[in-house]
A = this chain, B = another copy of it.
Amino acid sequence: MYKAGDVRVEDVPDPVLQAPTDAIVRVTYACVCGSDLHPYHSLEETSAGRRMGHEAIGVVEEIGSDVTRLTVGDTVIVPFAWSDNTCVFCRDGVTTSCVHGGFFDGAPSATQAEKLLVPQADGTAVVVPGGTDEALMPSLLTLSDVYLTGHHAAHKGGVRAGRTVAVIGDGAVGLSAVLASKQHGADTIILMGRHEDRTSLGREFGATHVVTERGEEGVAKVLAITGGEGVHVVIEAVGHMPAYEQAYGVVRPGGVISRVGVPQYEEAPVGFASLFGKNATLTGGPATVRAYIEAALPQVLDGTIEPGRVFDRELPLSDIAEAYRLMDSREALKVLIRP
């Protein structure tokens, strides 16, 4: 990406191992993330270009001398952040704060490409069992980010049986959060979104109510659904201020706002009138995807969940500019990319 709206496919040298803990992966499935649309809207012109993409499944082509858990030929899921999976923060499950970690976004090697350099490969990449049906690959790809970002939101928000949940945003993360909230046992799941094709999938994923209104009207609708009480957990899957404002409008006293939309703001209301007065909790952050993959993998393999249904288009890598356009114009929910 050279500037907002300017995505190009270019030939660049193949990545090479730089550290004994690295691996080289041939990317077989990638995709475009809702968060990729933020630079697509706002990136300032850069002569060097910015390599894009942070979600991938691929085949291990080469491993560094210290890599012991991967074998050349393994099919692996590569989460959007690399992590050693052994440091003090990884042991806490906060893999996105790994002391040897980093994010593929904007890194020298990113996933919307034929080949990918994976740092801390033993800690980062998770092997998909041999012989796995190709039809499961889209769902497995969501374990690199989007589904487990929804899961992170539900987990951090403390969603469980008896909890009411509002999910703000009907993008792929919002829909994933609906599916994850259902998996966490939520009884009432209110999806706030205006795109009927998306909210329909949301209902199939477990949404019990859809609220199409925004702002004050949307808040009033959610309060009406919950008998004026508000919801126990709000999942904010957008990242813009109006979504945040809706979130503290609908959260119940003592409730939780769990954010997974990357905030496009730094300052926000948190005082007596918004969070403090009603003892609301604000949580969330970059999903610690790596910490959740092992538990989610069997659920996808046995068909318990089909998070890959968020992909409604597939394009070759050569057409990735079109993938961005389709997602930006909301003609596509999420585009699968085949390098």
Contacts and interface: CB of A to CB of B under 8 A. Distances in A.
Interface stretch (A175-183, A265-273, A320-328): A265-273
A284 B282 CA distance: 10
Interface string A236-262: 000000000000000011100001001
Assembly of this chain: how many copies? 2
A281 B94 CA distance: 13
Nearest to A228: B99
B285 A280 contact: yes
Contacts of A28: none
A57 to B, nearest CB: 25
Contact of A276 (B252, B281, B286): B286
Nearest 8 interchain pairs by C-beta: A279-B285, A97-B253, A266-B271, A94-B254, A281-B283, A263-B271, A282-B282, A94-B253
Among A92, A96, A259, A285, find the residue whose CB has the most chain B CB atoms closer than 10 A.
A285
B266 A273 contact: yes
A276 B284 contact: yes
A89 B254 CA distance: 8
A54 interface: no
Nearest to A280: B285
A277 interface: yes
Contacts of A97: 253-254, 278-279
A222 interface: no
Given A279-B284, A281-B282, A285-B276, A89 B253 contact: yes
A277 B285 contact: yes
B273 A93 contact: no
29 contacts: A89-B252, A92-B254, A93-B254, A94-B253, A94-B278, A96-B279, A97-B278, A97-B279, A156-B279, A156-B281, A259-B276, A262-B272, A263-B271, A263-B272, A265-B271, A266-B271, A266-B273, A267-B269, A268-B268, A268-B270, A268-B271, A270-B270, A270-B282, A275-B282, A278-B285, A279-B283, A279-B286, A280-B285, A281-B281
Contacts of A282: 270, 275, 281-283
A274 interface: yes
Nearest to A88: B229
Interface in A93-109: 93-94, 96-97
A75 interface: no
Interface string A50-90: 00000000000000000000000000000000000000110
A288 interface: yes
Contacts of A272: 262-263, 266
A270 B266 contact: yes
Contacts of A280: 285
Among A263, A270, A272, find the residue whose CB has the most chain B CB atoms closer than 10 A.
A270
